Every structure is written in C-alpha cells, then in structure tokens.
Amino acid sequence: MSWNILGLSRYGPSTYLKKLFVATFGTFALLYTVTESFILPYTPTADQSFLRSLLDLALPFMMAYILLFYIIFECICNAFAELSYFADRQFYEDWWNSTSWDEFSRKWNRPVHAFLLRHVYAATILSYRLSKTSAMFVTFLLSACAHELVMVVVTQKLRMYLFTLQIIQIPLIMLGRLPAIKRNKLLGNVVFWLGLYAGFPLLCVAYVAY
C-alpha cells in the first residue's frame, strides 16, 4: 500500500520525520535567538513605561508568535500525524490572508475550531435553541476561559488579559462585517494585521510586566 493511500508523505515516514525534526530544530534555534537577543534584554518591569516596553518588544514578540505557530502547527502536529497515520493534515488555513477576526478564528487552529463548532456552537443552538449570535458568544466565552486557564498555569497568576482580548474579538467581528470593510479585502486584511500586531505584543508585555 502506498504512502499516499495512507495519507502519509510521498517520502515515507522516516524521511519525512527527519525533515520535520530538522525544521523544528532550526526554527526553535531561530526562536531562541530572537528571545535571547531581542526579548530578554528588554524585559519590561513594573516601574518601566508600558508604551516604551511595547514599542521595544512589538516586533520581537510578533516574530516569536509566528515562529512558535510554525513549530506547533507545521512541525509538531504533522509529526504526530505521521506517527499515528492520521490522514487529515489541515491543522490550519491561510489565516494570514484573513480579512476579519471571525475568518481568523476559523482558520488559525482548525482542529479546535471544528471541535467548538460541533460541540459548543451547534450544540447550544440545537439543544438550547439559542440564536446564532448567542451561540457565538457562548463559544467565545468558553474558548476565552480555556485559554485564560492555560495562561494561569503558565504564568502562575490570574490577570484575565487574554480572556479580555478574546471577548473584545466579538465587537471586532461585528466591525469586520460592515459593508465598507467587507467589500474591501485589502482594507480588511490591513485592519486584521494591525489588530494582530498590536494585540499579541500588548498581551505579552502585560503578562510579563504585570
């Protein structure tokens, strides 16, 4: 039986896993360099200007986010899929082309989106007769709570920064559905990237300093 029928790489599992290992190691080395050279020397403190810290760390944190995304979704997820003969490799879509935040939430993490769509969003509509808007709010609320719980475990402190930013996505989604933005894909993508570039570094600086 060919590798393609099994849903595996045409190189065979051993060769493909070696490629993933090299990619993981190389990307992690780059992530380590960014962290050591551009993040740790500028680690914010409580008595330091928040705006200054944000300006110093915005680009490095954004680079770290993209590198970490690649390690997790392109390298680690594909490695486990290869080992387990899991054929569905669509762990993410082209989220960088998103023109709205609801499109981003659908594309950046496909397995979690599929789970929430089926077991939370659709389930609340069918079981509790909620409207689509209410079901979306419940889904975002549950997702925000789960993500904040992860941050509590990682940082050992409850700050609700990530929870707040995720809930703020709801009005941003409504904003992205305005005809002026919805018709202009380029404008929507620019607005999305501005929000991502501001939001993720803001989140990181807030958790580190406060």
Active-site residues, by number, are 147
What is the Cα–Cα distance from 208 to 44, expressed in whole angstroms? 7
Burial of 204 per CB tally in 10 Å (0-12, 13-18, 19+): buried
What is the Cα–Cα distance from 126 to 2, expressed in whole angstroms? 42
- Three state DSSP letters for the chain: CCHHHHCCCCCCHHHHHHHHHHHHHHHHHHHHHHHHHHHHHHCCCCCCCHHHHHHHHHHHHHHHHHHHHHHHHHHHHHHHHHHHCCCCCCCCCCHHHCCCHHHHHHHCCHHHHHHHHHHHHHHHHHHHCCCHHHHHHHHHHHHHHHHHHHHHHHHCCCCCHHHHHHHHHHHHHHHHCCHHHHHCHHHHHHHHHHHHHHHHHHHHHHHHHC
